[in-house]
Amino acid sequence: MKLGASSVTNLPPRKNLSVVRIAKPIRTDPALGDLHGKLVTVELLNPGELKPKQAAIFFALGWIQGGGIAVREVAHLNARQEDDVEAEVARLPERHLADRLADAVLVVVAEVTDVQPTPFDIRSRNAPQWAAATLKTTEVLHGQPRHHATVLFPTSKRPTWVQSPRLAEKQRAIFLLHRPPDGTLFPEPIPTLPSELFTVLDEADVQPLSKRPLVKRLLSQESGV
């Protein structure tokens, strides 16, 4: 809409800023709300490439949220490529799921039979505050057969963990289980927990049962079957 301008209260105008009106959000952070028709300030990579009232598809990273929204451009494309970009964006969840499956050591259809808190490690501001869930396996889709597994999941509401799955008793789903992150899980051993532990950290690590055909297909592609 305007070059060298800003729509954010505490962000002074400068040459590499541009105020854009979002005609169609293709993929946005839900925390930003509905951006359709809203004015957003974009820090441009190359200000001379765009003109006022020119339509473009922006790829941008979050920057400022408060008194307005500002983002930093990573790239932009001609608006005529909208259909191609939308098609690629639509494939992102499946590609992300494929990546999580490739990293999982165990993929099971299971039911959560028990959830217990663990002694929280509150020394770190971003500590995950683990809880432990016991899974009763009904089908192993990938990995070594087993009847039960103990899974750690974060309960912290910090931004680092807010998108992680939260498990509940009687929950039935497809679980993508991963090895715990490097480093010590707890300040000291917890006798009530088994020696073999798994984690679910990503929102894609817990899939509804309806996704079983998709999970099976992606696993087959990964194994080359």
Which pLDDT score, from 0 to 100, does residue 224 have?
Answer: 65
Residues 105 and 75 in one domain: no
Domain shared by 74 and 173, yes or no: no
Give me the tens of pLDDT residue by residue for the chain, a chain 225 residues long.
Answer: 999 999 999 999 999 999 999 999 999 988 888 999 999 999 999 998 999 999 999 999 999 999 999 999 999 999 999 999 999 999 999 999 999 999 999 999 999 999 999 876 666 788 899 999 999 999 999 999 999 999 999 999 988 898 999 999 999 999 999 999 877 677 777 888 888 999 999 999 999 999 999 999 999 997 765
- List the one residue out of 155, 177, 180, 182 whose CA is nearest residue 166: 155
Statement to judge: residues 55 and 107 lie in one domain: no
My answer on whether 124 and 205 are in the same domain is: yes
Asked if 216 and 137 sit in the same domain, the reply is: yes
* Per-residue exposure over 61-70, b if at least 16 CB sit within 10 Å of its own CB, e if not: eebbeeebbb
Asked, for residue 87, whether it belongs to a domain, the answer is: no
At 159 the pLDDT is 84
Looking at the structure, do residues 108 and 42 belong to the same domain, yes or no? Answer: no
**pTM of the entire predicted model:** 0.77
Domain boundary among 82, 114, 138: 82
pLDDT tens track for 155-208: 999 888 989 999 999 999 999 999 998 776 777 778 888 889 999 999 999 999
Of 56, 82, 108, the residue at which a domain comes to its end is 82
Whether residue 94 lies inside any domain: the answer is no
Say whether both 108 and 48 belong to one domain: no
**Percent of the chain residues past pLDDT 90, beyond the cut:** 79
Are 40 and 143 in the same domain?
Answer: no
125 is in which domain, residue-wise?
A: 99-223
Number of independent structural domains in the chain: 2
Residue 111 CB coordination number (10 Å): 15
CATH of the domain at 219: 2.40.50.120
66 and 133 assigned to the same domain? no
CA atoms within 13 A on the CB side of 191: 0
Q: What is the DSSP letter of 82?
A: H
Query: Angle at the Cα of 18 (from 12 to 19), degrees rounded to 5?
Result: 90
**Domain assignment of residue 89, yes or no:** no
Check whether residue 70 and residue 161 sit in a common domain: no
Query: Among positive and negative, which fits the CA dihedral 29, 156, 131, 183?
Result: positive
Is 93 part of a structural domain of the chain? no
* Spatial CA neighbour of 8 closest among 36, 33, 35, 42: 42
